Structure 1
Amino acid sequence: MFKLLLIEDDTTLFHEIKDRLSQWSYDVYGITDFSSVIQEFTDIKPDLVVIDIQLPKFDGFHWCRIIRAHSNIPIIFLSSRDHPTDIVMAMQLGADDYIQKPFHFDVLIAKVQATLRRVYNYNTDVIELKTWCGATVDYERNVVTNDTGSIELTKNEIFVLKMLIEQKNKIVSREELINSLWDDKRFVSDNTLTVNVNRLRKKLDEIGLGTFIETKVGQGYMAVEEAHGYD
């Protein structure tokens, strides 16, 4: 059974589309939090995405750009906007098709089926992604991306960042970080950890996120959602 992610904020339309697609044995998921689309996308690991352009928080173009940067999963836009520039934008961002509202459900189903057949042999594995402070953190590629730009981290730096993000707004002790890095077959001394955190911050500064990693003197470090400056 193919898993489809329908990113649509019109509740009535969402349930109608879901009911129609479910009749064809598709497993259809929706979004519960439109500020965390990429995280729900990563958790669901769909085989195809159907996305509207006009959405809360960020538009469909924004999410399409992020998804396409990390996955070749098929994407179909479904929108009431019919201006040629919207269609061109969608295709340039890597969409596989564009369906204009209002539409006939048979057309939507046919396009979904055709798209899945066309990409069936493609690799649609979704890379593990995490959202933090408006940025997308790609744990597999060691890359952090936001609207300002993109940075590439070393294995140690992404390991430290992942530990801090997974426990964001909580202090992670230096001992816990060092022990975890040791368990991961990377020898890290107290001084080496300091160097790695400083380098991590310097790189994060390039995209405006350096101050979101705070030092808690005598305790450890903490990844926050609201920066208060270096401690």
Structure 2
Amino acid sequence: MAFDLPRRLTAEALGTALLVATVVGSGIMAVNLTHDVGLQLLGNTLPTGAMLVVLITILGPISGAHFNPAVSLVFALKRDMRPRDAALYMLAQVAGGVAGAIVAHLMFALPLIALSEKARTGGAQWFAEWVATFGLVATILAGIRFERSAVPWLVGLYIAAAYWFTASTSFANPAVAIARSLTNTFSGIRPIDLPGFIAAELLGAVCALALMGWLLREEADASDPLKAEARL
């Protein structure tokens, strides 16, 4: 890559921090502006999707713009990055996410850290997180394969949609889930509910890698001598 590891880690931490600050901050603002839960969710959705487009566009050329341990795990399993680098990416993402929650709290004059009391648990919620992360990773892998320049928009639009069609409102990101356990606001999740969410997210990412690895693999056409020779 064109950028050294410290710069890439900084980009990952910064991007995850801004993403979480957007998720948490827009949730707080939405609750302040309306008592309608549907409008609150809309007020949380639109800024998050928009911020993802911005962050992936400006930081993607530096670090790849993972901002998500599940995505870094997928790229490590694909051997597109070294396991050590992937582990450091994950640490930077979690640290950035925690910082983002603190930033949001500071902006709204709330305690720096407040453990969430919002229950998000059960088989339906866990399956929703599996679906959300499966779709996110599939979107990223197919986007990179067919239309790399569109990936920021694809991811932003996917997450905006997944807020509404998944029962869990689509965390799809272990680092963001951890950060959201530290805010007792609209977007929070109880720390005790984290293990089920994180396990579902990682499993969804690995399943998406398995399917998309097969789906996106081109086979040489046996009727074409040049392609057949290349395959041999």
Question: What TM-score bracket applies, with the shorter chain setting the length?
Answer: under 0.3
Bigger Cα Rg: 1
TM-score normalised by length of structure 2:
0.24
Q: Between Structure 1 and Structure 2, which shows a larger proportion of strand residues?
A: 1
* TM-score scaled by length of structure 1: 0.24
- Which structure carries more helix by proportion? 2
Q: Which has the higher contact order (CA 8 A, sep 6+)?
A: 2
